[in-house]
Amino acid sequence: MRFTYAEAMTDPSYYVPLAQAAEAAGYSSITVADSIAYPEESDSTYPYTPDGNREFLEDKPFVEAFVLSAAILAATTTLRVTPFVVKLPIRPPVLVAKQAASLAALSGNRFGFGVGISPWPDDFEIMGVPFAGRGARMDECVDIVRGLCAGGYFEFHGEYYDLPPIKITPVPTEPLPILIGGHSEPALRRAARRGDGWMHAGGDPAELDRLLARLDTLRTEYDTRKDFEIHVISLDGFTVDGVKRLEDKGVTDVIVGFRNPYTTEHDTESLDTKISNLSRFAERVIAATNG
């Protein structure tokens, strides 16, 4: 089992030392959150809070995902960086492919590209991208990023994007893992059909079992029974026995964090406290699981 340390909306100066501490403690990866901007007025809701409230995001610091990924990768040697998740269809896919390929190439293939669809029309509006057709646009973006990151000339002719034969250099020496986030049926289908893995955003344990079963069915349907990463947030991830249960369900990566980010209060935990929390978990669970 691999373990990913999750931290977001904290003091930006903490990320590099936290990544270095996580690497030293035995974590395999760290997540990077994505947010472009916060609208002054919006009727959008957040899908992963009980009441849909998104006000906890206001005035919280988000370093741009690719910039933060580069800083962490430059400061570590073995730690993987996994955006959780980059809102892909609001961005130009050729530029995204260039960014992702550059990060993976410079870091020795330590960039796992977590992507998803933003649930908010606001994100599409401020980026000048239509909200309608976002699912099909997302599919085309995934195909373009994968095709360009593979190296050589690549062309694409779809409903939303039309590319002549082009190539980017450098590209990673191994295929870029594209991990699809989301709990909806379209997201699960996208992960099974186009992804190298799936990223779970937490919730009820019974719902996780349903999602995993559905994902397994879809992977059989699409005949994509290849190596597949399953990244999960679960209370089971905090005990050795629980990790074994997740492993038995096919989970490959457990995502753990040590505070609730869904609060309107700003994070006041010290860097030392955060490092102590991640280190204590590593000693108690990671070492016992993988030792």
Per residue in 250-271, pLDDT (tens digit) is 999 999 999 988 888 999 999 9
Q: Which residues contact 273 (CB under 8 A, 6 or more apart)?
A: none
Hey, what are 165's tokens?
């034969």
pLDDT surpassing 80 at residue 134 = yes
Matching residue, tokens 């095709």: 147
**Cα–Cα dist 249/206, whole Å:** 12
Report the SS3 class of residue 283.
helix
In the structure, what pLDDT confidence band is assigned to residue 105 with cuts at 50, 70 and 90?
A: very high
Report the SS3 class of residue 277.
helix
Arithmetic mean of pLDDT, 149-165: 98
Residue 37 neighbours by CB distance under 10 Å: 10
**Which DSSP state fits 138?**
H
pLDDT digits (tens, 9 = 90+) for 218-233: 999 998 767 899 999 9
Phi and psi at residue 121, to the nearest 5°: -55, -30
**Cα–Cα dist 209/72, whole Å:** 33
| pLDDT in the model for residue 225 | 67
Please provide the size of the chain in residues: 291
| pLDDT in the model for residue 9 | 96
pLDDT digits (tens, 9 = 90+) for 45-70: 777 677 777 888 889 999 999 999 99
Ordered domains of the chain (ranges, CATH): 31-232+258-278 (3.20.20.30)
Phi and psi at residue 164, to the nearest 5°: -70, 170
Arithmetic mean of pLDDT, 143-161: 98
pLDDT surpassing 80 at residue 83 = yes
Query: Measured in whole angstroms, how far is the alpha carbon of residue 128 from the centre of its chain?
Result: 23
Matching residue, tokens 């999960």: 232
DSSP letters spanning 167-224: --S---SSPPPEEEE-SSHHHHHHHHHH-SEEE-----HHHHHHHHHHHHHHHHHTT-
**Cα–Cα dist 23/92, whole Å:** 32
Report the SS3 class of residue 161.
coil
In the structure, what pLDDT confidence band is assigned to residue 119 with cuts at 50, 70 and 90?
A: confident
